[in-house]
A = this chain, B = another copy of it.
Amino acid sequence: MLPQEFIRVKRDGQKHDRESMHEFLSNYLSGKVADYQVSAWLMASFLKGLDDEETYWLTDEIVESGEKLDLSDVDGIKVDKHSSGGVGDKISLALVPLLASAGLVVSKMSGRGLGHTGGTIDKLESIPGLRTEFSTEEFKDLLRKVGAAIVAQSDALAPLDKKLYSLRDVTATVEALPLIASSIMSKKIAVNSDLVSLDVKLGNGAFITNLEDAKELCRIMLSLGKQFGRRVEIHVTDMNEPLGYAVGNSLEVIEAMDFLKGKVNNRFSALVKQLYVDTLNSVNLPVPDFDKLIASGKPIQKFAEMVQAQGGNPKVIDDYSILPLSKNIFELKADKSGYLDYNNTVEVGMAIVELGGGRTRKEDAIDHGVGIKFFVEGGDKVEKGQVIAHIYYNDQHSLDNALNRLSHSFTIKETESAQRPLIWWSTNSKE
């Protein structure tokens, strides 16, 4: 079948067959089908949809395009963690060592941040000397020794996903649910973990902005998990404001460490606690009392072990000055009294990009020492003149741009808003 004939099938709203999808995608990998043909197909798929069977075939093609990571020679119950990405989302930095301190073997394989969403490995790399690139054997050794690892996504797994994602990113074909589902799940299916734990962010700081879409995405991913024999748990969590107080690389690492010491009490800490309980439940393990576990010091110690195993300085848990942090601090004050209301959380993420702490292109370098530390959360009451955030910046120009972004991210309203849940919806393979 000619590539244009394959494209025509989807353009006309018809269903592909297994054979022709294999031919089209394998010829793309080998260079016989061109980027401009795949992008036309992606747009047709975006607008006409892929059904569950087509999504399964696509996912299978992506999985089979690369190597597989066999964890069967790593003891323990292995959890593979993933988040769809948001603003101030440092959950993995806290949850990975926390669950590991409760006995699970937890890994997070992550891409780098792009656009308004920060990347977990970018954040962790704030710690001087820490590495995130490891060979398969080194990665398994980290899991065997520490039980926790946060590393860069291996290029050997699902290379077709990387090729497709790069194309989707520049052709306005990112947000199609079957394409998102196959992209996320293919990389999880390439690893034989015992539980895939997915965090789908929902709200004005996330890619997904309505609950129906989020539920449909969950349904597709759960279905893929079943078809490929992976146990899956999924939480749809709120991203209508930055998660927690800190946004920016070093600042988020500090908030995660503070949490692991029991020193944080906000929406971020509440959410991590709930995920901690749910994940242990998902694998049918008893749930150690959270406060006792924190009091034991094991979680922050596990973080230090993980940092050390990945080449970073474990003393960072006691000496935050090891982390780069800009000396220039701007005090952002409330210009009136009222209730803080985020209507465009994406702009908080873009403020970090303006400060130099994020990327607009993959090859951009980032500054780990800039960021924003809020003293209030969405919905909190503030008084006129009250310092609501410290902005860590390098130069006036980038600060001005960041302030401009922030001014479009929230308002101060006279009336209180209705409370939003931390978790909008959750599901797992048991259901």
**Footprint of B on A, CB under 8 Å?**
3-5, 7-8, 11, 34-44, 46-48, 167, 169-173
Contact = CB atoms under 8 A, between A and B. Distances in A.
Contacts of A11: 43, 46-47, 172-173
Residue of A7, A48, A170 contacting most chain B CB atoms (<10 Å): A170
Contacts of A36: 34-36, 38-39, 167, 170-171
A65 to B, nearest CB: 19
B47 A173 contact: no
B40 A7 contact: no
Nearest to A11: B172
A42 B41 CA distance: 11
Contacts of A46: 11
Given A11-B47, A48-B47, A172 B4 contact: yes
A208 to B, nearest CB: 16
B47 A44 contact: yes
Contacts of A8: 172
Task: Among A38, A40, A42, A46, find the residue whose CB has the most chain B CB atoms closer than 10 A.
Answer: A40
Nearest to A33: B170
A406 B41 CA distance: 32
B170 A37 contact: yes
Given A11-B43, A47-B48, A4 B170 contact: yes
A48 to B, nearest CB: 7
Count chain B CB atoms within 10 A of each CB in A4, A170, A171, A173 and give the residue with the most: A171
A333 to B, nearest CB: 34
B43 A40 contact: yes
A84 to B, nearest CB: 19
Nearest to A171: B40
Contacts of A172: 4-5, 7-8, 11, 40, 44
A5 B172 CA distance: 7
Contacts of A41: 43
Contacts of A5: 172
17 contacts: A3-B170, A4-B171, A7-B172, A8-B172, A11-B47, A34-B170, A35-B35, A36-B36, A36-B170, A37-B170, A37-B171, A40-B40, A40-B42, A40-B171, A40-B173, A43-B47, A47-B47
A287 B172 CA distance: 56
A38 B35 CA distance: 11
Nearest to A38: B36
Contacts of A170: 3-4, 34, 36-37
